[in-house]
A = this chain, B = another copy of it.
Amino acid sequence: MATDPFGSAWWIERIHDELFLQTKLQAVLFTGKTRFQDVAIIETAAFGKTLILDGKTQSAAIDEFVYHEALAHPALLLHPNPKRVFIAGGGEGATLREVLRHGSVEQAVMADIDGDLVELCREHLPEWHAGAFDDARTVLAPGDARAALEQSKRKYDVIVIDVTDPAEAGPSLPIFTKSFYEMALERLTPQGVLVTQAGPAALGMTQVHGAIVHTLEAAASRAFPYRANVISFGCEWGFALVSKGMTPDSLSPEEVDRRIAKRVKGTLRFLDGASWPGLFSAPKWLREALVAETTVLTEDTQVFLA
C-alpha cells in the first residue's frame, strides 16, 4: 500500500499477551459482524487472503491447505470406506472441500452455528470452498453442530470438528466437552473416526491441546494427538482423533499412498505416505506435556485460549 516498507498498515495478531505476530497488511476485503462473531477478511503480504474471526486468524491462503488437509484426511484415510461425514463448524467450506475429494463420500453434512459466516465465506472465499457448497453431496444442517448431532440418530463414518478455539463466551465452548465427545462418538459407525482441531501445540502453550486430548481419552479411552506447522497461526497446531477402527500406527506409509491414490481426487500438497509418520511422531517434551495435563473439559470445567 505504501512505498515505505514499515510506515504502513499491519496486522498484529495476539498469540498470547506477550507474543504477537505482525504481518504487513495489503488489503481489507471485508469487515463486519455476524450474530456470533466479528469477521474480517484481509490480505497480508506474508500469508495472502486471511479469514479473521474475533481477532484470530482462522485460515490463510498460504497454508489453509496444511490445516485443512491435516484436519480432514487422516480421519478419512483411517476409515475403510467413508460414506457419510459430519462436519461441525468449518464455515470456510475448505474442510468440506477436502472431505468431498474422497470419492467414497456420499453425503457430507455440515453444521456451522453461524449461517451468516458461511454465506460470507461462500462469497468472499471461493478459493477455500472451491464450489463445495454446491456439491450435490453437501447438506447444510441448520443450527449448531451439537444440536444437529443430538436431534438425529443418524450415524457417520467420520466426524470432523472444525470449530473456533475455546474462548470465554465463545460459541465453540459446548463442543469442547466430554459430554459432546461422548454423544458424538455414539453417532459413529463401528469403524468410525472422530477428529478435532485441538489448539496450539507449542512450547508453553499446550494447556488447551492437552485438555482436549485428555478429554477425548476420558470419553473414548484412547486418542491420537498429532500436529502440523501452520505458519499463519504463529505456532505449531494440534489435532486429535479417536478411531473405532484402525489406529494411525497400523497404517503404513505405503498404504497411505495407496489409499490416497485410490480415493482422493486431485493432488494433496501436505499429506502423503512419507509425511504420515511425522504427523504422529511428536517431540518428547510435547508428549510428556500432554500426559501431564489432566483436565477433563466439561460444562463447568473449561480452559481458554488467552
Interface residues of A (CB under 8 A from B): 1-14, 16-25, 27-28, 31, 38, 40, 42, 44-46, 52, 54-56, 62-63, 65-66, 202-204, 228-229, 231, 235-236, 268-272, 274-285, 287
Contacts and interface: CB of A to CB of B under 8 A. Distances in A.
A161 to B, nearest CB: 22
Nearest to A21: B21
Given A8-B40, A18-B45, A202-B229, 15 more contacts: A2-B54, A6-B20, A7-B20, A9-B10, A10-B11, A12-B22, A19-B22, A21-B21, A27-B31, A28-B28, A202-B231, A231-B235, A270-B284, A277-B281, A278-B278
A14 B20 CA distance: 12
A127 to B, nearest CB: 16
Contact of A9 (B7, B17, B20, B42): B42
A66 B286 CA distance: 11
Contacts of A63: 203
B274 A284 contact: yes
Nearest to A62: B203
A14 B8 CA distance: 8
A281 to B, nearest CB: 3
Given A231-B235, A268-B284, A46 B28 contact: no
Q: What is the count of identical protomers in the complex?
A: 4
A18 to B, nearest CB: 4
A304 B4 CA distance: 15
Nearest to A276: B281
A7 B5 CA distance: 13
A282 B277 contact: no
Identify the 5 closest CB pairs spanning chains A and B, nearest first. A278-B281, A2-B55, A7-B14, A4-B55, A18-B45
16 contacts: A2-B52, A3-B38, A4-B54, A6-B12, A7-B20, A8-B11, A8-B12, A18-B23, A19-B46, A20-B21, A27-B28, A66-B285, A202-B231, A229-B236, A229-B283, A271-B283
Between A19, A204, A276, the greatest number of chain B beta carbons within 10 A of the residue's beta carbon is seen for A19
A205 to B, nearest CB: 8
Contacts of A283: 66, 228-229, 270-271, 275, 278
A53 to B, nearest CB: 9
